[in-house]
């Protein structure tokens, strides 16, 4: 599979127009995290370094063709003293397949607090996807087929202490297997890519036998503190509601030292497979 460095290396066609490569994949449509990550890269390249991305809000409009590249058109909505805003439209075959707004903030000082990281086993104490598949857990084979460059360690249910009243809960350690470039912006764009990998799966942990058609519908992220995507990150995921063929999911991402580095909310398609 393509390296994340290649996926996020966009070609600049015009001042505000970029093109991302098609990547090798086993998926029938372009992976949503790829589109979000590339869109964020295109937005970042139109902002001066003094501003750092702090949030993005995206909508998946059409499935992408994974055999074709994607063009990203950036609108410079606002350049202020403290905040900048960009709107990105991803286009393929003459149609918009994804649209995203991204906000950038100059570094400032203010109040500080965060929730504590959940108590879970360390990733080194948990089996990786390869080990789970060798043990007969075929439900984790997707991680080896599509994302062999990433290391996933799922926290077993017996080590989960969920908050009272939480409907569906999942926790996953993850990181890039390879050492990534030091540029902090690269790690932010990489996390935008990675954040779409397991989140919708949190809606399925209490419906293991149900067969559904799944796809990301919208995706929002907030980047809270510095991190590296090649260090272990804990993705604390919940699905507070599912119904009418859609599931709401949310996640908090912590680094291995317990710092909350990002938050994610996503709604995804989870409708029953239609009989042919």
Q: pLDDT tens digits, residue range 22-50?
A: 988 888 999 999 999 999 999 999 999 99
SS3 157: helix
Active-site residues, by number, are 196, 216, 266
Q: 158-213: per-residue pLDDT in tens?
A: 888 767 889 999 999 999 999 999 999 999 999 999 999 999 999 999 998 899 99
Q: What is the pLDDT averaged over residues 86-112? A: 97
Q: What is the pLDDT averaged over residues 218-231? A: 98
pLDDT band at 120 (very low <50, low <70, confident <90, very high): very high
Q: What is the pLDDT averaged over residues 124-151? A: 88
Q: 240-270: per-residue pLDDT in tens?
A: 999 999 999 999 999 999 999 999 999 999 9
Single out the residue of 107, 109, 105 nearest to residue 47, CA to CA.
105
The two tokens of residue 104 are 């950038």
pLDDT band at 275 (very low <50, low <70, confident <90, very high): low
Single out the residue of 271, 138, 133, 275 nearest to residue 210, CA to CA.
271
SS3 8: coil
Mean of the per-residue pLDDT values for the chain?
94
User: Of all residues in the chain, what percent carry a pLDDT higher than 70?
Assistant: 99
SS3 259: coil
Surface-to-core class of residue 116, CB atoms within 10 Å of its CB (0-12 exposed, 13-18 middle, 19+ buried): exposed
The neighbour count for residue 140, using CB atoms within 10 Å, is: 17
Q: How far apart are CA 231 and CA 170, in angstroms?
A: 20
User: Could you give phi then psi for residue 158, rounded to 5 degrees?
Assistant: -70, -15
């Amino acid at each position: 599979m393509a390296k994340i460095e290649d996926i996020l290396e966009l070609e600049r066609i015009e001042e505000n127009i970029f093109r991302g490569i098609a990547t090798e994949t086993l998926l029938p449509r372009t992976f949503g995290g790829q589109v979000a990550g590339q869109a964020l890269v295109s937005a970042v390249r139109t902002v001066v370094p003094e501003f750092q991305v702090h949030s993005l809000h995206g909508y998946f409009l059409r499935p992408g063709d994974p055999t074709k590249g994607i063009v990203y058109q950036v609108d410079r909505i606002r350049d202020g003293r403290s905040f900048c805003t960009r709107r990105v439209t991803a286009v393929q075959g003459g149609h918009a397949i994804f649209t995203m707004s991204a906000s950038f903030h100059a570094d400032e000082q203010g109040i500080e607090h965060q929730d504590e990281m959940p108590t879970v086993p360390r990733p080194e104490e948990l089996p990786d996807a390869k080990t789970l598949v060798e043990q007969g857990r075929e439900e984790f084979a997707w991680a080896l087929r599509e994302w062999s460059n990433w290391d996933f360690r799922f926290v077993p249910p017996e080590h989960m202490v969920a908050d009272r009243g939480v409907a569906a809960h999942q926790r996953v350690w993850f990181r890039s297997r390879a050492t990534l470039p030091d540029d902090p912006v690269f790690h932010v764009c990489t996390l935008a890519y990675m954040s779409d990998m397991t989140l919708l799966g949190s809606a399925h942990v209490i419906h293991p036998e149900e067969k559904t058609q799944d796809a990301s519908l919208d995706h929002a992220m907030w980047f809270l503190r510095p991190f590296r995507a090649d260090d272990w990150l804990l993705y604390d995921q919940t699905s507070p509601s599912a119904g009418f063929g859609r599931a709401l999911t949310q996640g908090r991402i912590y680094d291995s030292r317990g710092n909350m580095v990002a938050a994610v909310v996503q709604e995804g398609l989870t409708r029953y497979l239609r009989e042919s």
